Amino acid sequence: MLRRRPSLIVFDLDGTLVDSAPDLAHAIDEMLTRLGQPPAGEETVRGWIGNGMPMLVQRALTGEQWPEREPEGFAEALALYMDIYEASLCNRTRLYEGAQECLQRLRQRHIKLACVTNKHSRFTLSLLRQLGIADFFDAVASGDQFTNNKPDPESLLKTAERLGVAAADSLMVGDSPADAQAARRAGFMLACVPYGYHGGKGVAVLSPDLILESLAELPGWVDAAPRQPLPEAVTG
């Protein structure tokens, strides 16, 4: 359970609020085709999502999960990919079941909400608007607006500071190891959804405070959380 009722809830975007893999995979495969390489396919691309677009393109060019160096032609490939993706940003991307209901119910509780993503700002707000959820958020922050992306805690800490909320009173909702590591390093509480882009290892290994089968469950957990922090366990 949550150690206290959060004053700020920060949501990841891809794999948490929205299933964007079909459009991301389309753009990757089209990029690879134009570069004379075989397409990767949606199933493979799903395993590459979660560390920002530059890393996604590097993985597509090399076939490696963690490329040791920037591949040849990377800058040109990234620009091509971004143009292709922008043209098909929301063709098959959809909100996960329970996402809109969750945001609506949390707004009724006067909890501050933010979307913090490694996605480039060129796409983030446009996608949120096309899906009809942009107005739920008090802050929207994208990967190119920070020096360091998740799993670094910078984007979470700066968003909490911007909204005037302490890290200890903040909750990160995500789907990936990058989200979990950023939350723990920032001192946030952590909730994970099991359906996103976690590399096939599941989210239990991330040791979140909550695992949500659907985002629609989150308001109930928020209501059940204590107004004050849970006392430390007595040992000895």
Catalytic positions: 12
* 3-state SS record for 125-165: HHHHHHCCCHHHCCEEECHHHCCCCCCCCHHHHHHHHHCCC
As a whole number of angstroms, the distance between CA 116 and CA 160 comes to 11
Instruction: Specify the amino acid at residue 196.
Output: G
Q: In angstroms, what CA-CA distances link 69 with 55, 73, 81, 189? A: 11, 12, 19, 34
| Whether residue 219 has a cis bond before it, omega within 30° of 0 | no
Structure tokens given for 119: 């996605």
Distant-in-sequence, close-in-space partners of 58: CB < 8 Å, separation ≥ 6: 64, 67, 70, 71, 74
How close are the terminal C-alpha atoms of the chain, in Å? 24
